[in-house]
Structure 1
C-alpha cells in the first residue's frame, strides 16, 4: 500500500493529466464556453442598446449572429462528461484484483527499488 501512496497516486494523476484526448476535449470546452459567454453578453448588450436608445440595432455582422453557441457548449460538455480514459479502465480492473499493488506496478512500472523495500 505504501507503493500506491508514494508512486501510484502520482502515476495515476500523471497518466490522466497527460492523456492527449483530455487536453483536446478541455480546450474545445473552454473555447465553446468562451464563445457562448461572448454571444450571451453581446445579445444582452444589444438588447439594452435597443431598449435604451429606442433604435434597431443590427446584429447581423456579429460573429455570433445565427450561431447556436448554447448547443455547441452543451455538445462539448457532453463530450467532456463522456470522455473515456483507457488508463482508468486498467486501474479499475487492477483494484479489483487480490494483488492490486502488483497489478498497478504492471500498469505503472516506473517505481524504484527503494519503494519495494518500504513494502517489507
Structure 2
C-alpha cells in the first residue's frame, strides 16, 4: 500500500490529468468561454453606448454579429460534462483485480523501483 499512497496516486492522477481527450476538451471549453465572454461584453458595451449617446450603434460589422456564442459555449460545456476518458475505464478494470495495488503498479509504472520500502 505504500507504493499506492506515495507514488501510485501521482501516476494515476497524472495519467488522468494528462489525457489527450481531457486536454482537448478543456481547451475547446476555454476558447468557447472566451469567445462568449467577448461577445457578451461587446454586446453590453454597445448597449451602454446606445443608451448613453441616444444613437443607434451599428454592430453589423463586429466580429460577434450574428454569431451564437451561447450555443457554442453550451455545447462545449455538455461535451466536458459527458467526457469519457479511456484511462478511467482502465483504472476501473484495474481496481476490480484481486491485487489491485500490483495491477496499478503494472498499469501505471512510475519508472522507479517500487518494491523497495524506504522506511
TM-score normalized by the length of structure 2: 0.90
CA contact (8 A) 1:105 1:111 kept: no
SS at the partner of 2:58?
Answer: coil
Question: 1:79: how far off?
Answer: 0.9
* Cα distance in 1 between the residues matched to 2:94 and 2:40: 46
Cα contact 1:32–1:69 (8 A) shared by 2: yes
Structure 1 residue 111, shift from structure 2 partner: 5.0
Matched, 1:42 2:32: no
| Residue matched to 1:118 | 117
- Residues 75/39 of structure 1: CA separation in 2 closer, same or farther (3 Å cut): same
Alpha carbons 2:11, 2:109 under 8 Å: kept? no
Q: Which residue pairs with 2:100 in the alignment?
A: 100
Aligned length: 118
Q: Let me know the Cα RMSD of the aligned residues.
A: 1.6
TM-score normalised to structure 1 length:
0.89
How far is the alpha carbon of 1:90 from its aligned partner? 1.2
The equivalent of 1:24 in structure 2 is 24
- The answer on 1:83 being equivalent to 2:90 is no
Unaligned runs of 5+ in 1: none
Partner residue, 1:63: 63
Could you tell me how far apart the structure 2 residues matched to 1:87 and 1:103 are? 14
Q: CA deviation at 1:33?
A: 0.4
Which region of structure 1 is more displaced relative to structure 2, 45-54 or 16-25?
16-25
